[in-house]
Structure 1
């Protein structure tokens, strides 16, 4: 099983590289990228999970409606992308449920940062996908955490996929920078070992990030963005389907785990 997920949010990444970007651009760039993602998924008849901040959902109602209308799952990515308080956990779920008319079952913390599982449970979530069980310099070291799903304090943990043994991360940066054939090989080995694959991306990756004056991103962030990213994702999903892997939302995945 393949769990494709996309973290839809205010595009505030340039702020980490000392570039200002106004709020309207943050939303419009994420809308542009999410539209490209939805077009690819529709082409291949694939369902995915969209972890949305409440702020993005409030300011992009048309794209949220399209996500719901096309049968995808909405989960929470906090209320804001760069501001977190414990009360945001419940508030974001409630706002997303109000905007979508559907129950919100899952949560993912921005930037895959740690979050108290008791608070996740108390906020009414069934699953949490905020763990990348590998080492990312300057971000986190989760080598001692489980590679695959596990229960903690009443909440099902669904870590991002990493390769067996060496725990090579299969997240968005790897997709941009590895030759696609090598990325596919690592995914195949992980699927063989774990029986499922949990991959996450962002909408702004599907827009042109190769704008140094505007964003100041290093090459490993902007590489294969925009049209190249759209093309790579198209080829990747096509390959997964040829390999006869099935696609499920997180909600469908946890139903099968019960």
Structure 2
């Protein structure tokens, strides 16, 4: 199985690079990208999981409705993207369930930062996908974490996919910077080893980010964004389908694990 997921949030990443962007534009950029994602999913007839902040969902209920109506899964990405309190775990879950009328089973911490697994369990989540089991300078070192799914404190942990042995991360930045041939080769090796891929992206990657005066992003972030990223994601999905790989939501995958 390939588990595609997208973190739907207020687009506040420019703040990390000393830039400001007003809230209306944060929402607009994330919304435009989300609709592009949904168009690709519909054309390819596959389902994905959308980890949404409650803040985004409350401001864009029409987008959340489209995600649900088209058969995708809504999971929690916290209440706000740049503010976390333990009580937000349950508050975000409750808010998303009220908006969607669906059970919210999964959680992903903003920026894949550490989160107390016992608190995840107490908030009522079945699974947590907040671990990138690799080393990213200045962000995290998770070489001690398992590469594949495991249970902790009553919650299924579903780390982002990394390659066997060297643990090369198969996450959003890799899809911007690696040649597609190498990316597909690494994905095939990882799929054969693990039996699944857990891949995550963001809707703002579908916007042209090559505007350093506006966003402040380095080249490795802005490379292959916008239309180029749409083509790369669509190309990858088409390749995976030809390889015979199936796609499903993270919640469905967790249910199959029992």
Q: Which residue of 1 aligns with 2:112?
A: 112
TM-align CA RMSD: 0.4
Distance in 1 of aligned mates of 2:125 and 2:155: 7
Secondary structure, aligned partner of 2:67: helix
Whole-angstrom distance in 2 between the partners of 1:234 and 1:145: 31
Residue 184 of structure 2 is matched in structure 1 by: 184
Deviation at 1:233, TM superposition (A): 0.7
SS at match of 2:225: coil
Residue 209 of structure 2 corresponds to 209
TM-score, normalising length: structure 2? 1.00
* Cα-to-partner distance string for 1:182-219 (whole Å, 9 max, x where unaligned): 10110000000000000000000001111111101100
1:133 is displaced (CA, Å) by: 0.2
Corresponding residue of 2:233: 233
- Deviation, 1:148, is 0.2
User: Partner residue of 2:243?
Assistant: 243
Counterpart check, 1:199 vs 2:211: no
Partner of 1:98, secondary structure, is helix
Which residue pairs with 2:168 in the alignment? 168
The aligned residue for residue 75 of structure 1 is 75
Partner of residue 97, structure 2 = 97
Runs of 4+ residues deviating >6 angstroms: none
- Report deviation, 1:7: 0.2
Q: Distance in 1 between matches of 2:32 and 2:162?
A: 29
Structure 2 runs not aligned, ≥5 long: none
Residue of structure 2 in register with 1:143 after alignment: 143
Q: CA deviation at 1:62?
A: 1.1
How far apart are 1:84 and its partner, in Å?
0.1
Residues in 2 aligned to 1:201 and 1:56: alpha-carbon distance in whole angstroms: 16
TM-score (norm 1): 1.00
Task: Tell me the secondary structure at the aligned position of residue 6 of structure 1.
Answer: strand
Gapped regions of structure 1 (runs ≥ 5): none
* Map of 2:36 onto structure 1: 36
The Cα shift of 1:2 comes to 0.2
Aligned residues: 258
